[in-house]
Amino acid sequence: MSDAPQAFHVSRYELERFMLAVLARAGADASSAEALTRALVTASRMGTDSHGLRLLPHYIRALQGGRIAGAPAMHFERRLPATGYLDAGDGFGHLAGYTAMEHAADMADEVGMGAVAVGRSSHFGAAGCYALAAAERGLIGLAVCNSDPFVLLHQGSRPFHGTNPIAFAAPVEGENPFLLDMATSSIPWNRVQQYGAIGRELPDQVAADSTGEVTRIPKEVAALLPLGGSDFGFKGAGLGSMVEVLSSTLSGMLNGFRLLPMGGPDMKTPRGASHFCLALRPDAFAPGDPFPECMRRYLEDLRAQPGRDGAQVMAPGDREWDCRARRDAEGIPLDSANQRAYAELAETLNVPALQPLA
């Protein structure tokens, strides 16, 4: 999330150019490369760095290893007027996510609401991308997905759920959408690694050692706590569980506890991740379509609230849209690790190197 001074910033267009070229060279078809690029660049522009450009080298490894099919045979079946199933053919989760939300949105346009369960998929990056895709069509969108185990159950001592995110977006007339995109743990796993690298203590109540006891020392961490910590983690774990029911259970896939680890070492076997995308038409409920005006008044009330110690309160998404505006103007930063990884991709895949902004 840090925008600390960096020597290396790229424009979103240059980043897109590079990603599309690299993905094509590594064997992704055009729609896969476009979906992955759209999702990663969206996340990087908004400051969701954990799910942005830093993941490209990982996805290339998964593609080259055979875990992910670069030209997947995805198959959508509409089961009832408001529901469907997408078999993602072990392709990129990003293509699966956008495709599923598009079908959900098509059904919503027709019958007011639509939802698609997605099976045989893979990591889809930031869940917010797909909720946002619905909001960009004027619909309310919800997207969730399971992942491999990093998070304890409440009072558990072994990782069980993934960080199982919930993303929810809604259109706002004349503004960027309302956008909530949250893991059901307090912090993402890579925060532990970042804090460890700089010798910093973690916040309290976010992580635990191998016996399930809370620790703030990164090198002792064996698992994340669910949102709510030791006292109220039954809420975060319950939300993670809801995500699991909507994703793996509805789609008939393995639950997160049984998924192969995202990080490998096996980069050959498809992981069978699952997602769930729902879209609804805001004008299909109360007569007279009060939604746009109510949304405007609600956000006006929210943003007018006084902050603690001079802080500014924000609506979900405000921080991300601010970051996007800043990064669209100043470029997207790459830290030294990402610069090295991108230089290596350019070299091994014989693609012109990523050019920094002047």
CB 91 within 8 A of CB 32: yes
Handedness of CA 31, 32, 34, 38 (dihedral sign): positive
Q: Which of residues 179-198 bind a copy of itself (CB under 8 A)?
A: 180, 182, 186-187
Residue 250, phi then psi, degrees to nearest 5: -65, -30
Q: Which of residues 133-152 bind a copy of itself (CB under 8 A)?
A: 140, 152
Binding a copy of itself (rule: CB under 8 A), the pick from 314, 322, 346, 349 is 314
Q: Which is nearer to a copy of itself, 187 or 273 (CB)?
A: 187
Q: In angstroms, how far is CA 50 from the centroid of its own chain?
A: 9
Residue 147, phi then psi, degrees to nearest 5: -155, 175
User: Considering the rule CB under 8 A, would residue 306 count as an interface residue with a copy of itself?
Assistant: yes
Residues 6+ positions from 324 with CB-CB distance below 8 Å: 45, 46, 47
User: Considering the rule CB under 8 A, would residue 174 count as an interface residue with a copy of itself?
Assistant: no
Q: Which stretch binds a copy of itself (CB under 8 A): 31-39, 62-70, 165-173, 335-343?
A: 165-173
Measure Cα distances from 129 to 196, 213, 218 in Å.
29, 34, 30
User: Considering the rule CB under 8 A, would residue 36 count as an interface residue with a copy of itself?
Assistant: no
Q: Which tokens is 25 given?
A: 């060279």
Q: Which tokens is 250 given?
A: 């509805």
Binding a copy of itself (rule: CB under 8 A), the pick from 4, 199, 301, 352 is 301
Closest CA to 19 of 42, 46, 48: 42
User: How many residues line the site for a copy of itself (CB under 8 A)?
Assistant: 91
- Residue 11: CB minimum distance to a copy of itself, A: 29
Residue 157, phi then psi, degrees to nearest 5: -125, 5
Q: Which tokens is 101 given?
A: 């939300």
- 3-state class (DSSP) for residue 210: coil
Q: Which tokens is 319 given?
A: 């921080």
Q: Which is nearer to a copy of itself, 38 or 51 (CB)?
A: 51
Q: Which stretch binds a copy of itself (CB under 8 A): 26-34, 39-47, 228-236, 322-330?
A: 228-236
Q: Which is nearer to a copy of itself, 225 or 341 (CB)?
A: 225
Q: Which of residues 107-126 bind a copy of itself (CB under 8 A)?
A: 111-117, 119
Binding a copy of itself (rule: CB under 8 A), the pick from 311, 329, 352, 358 is 311
- Residue 147: CB minimum distance to a copy of itself, A: 14
- Residue 29: CB minimum distance to a copy of itself, A: 25
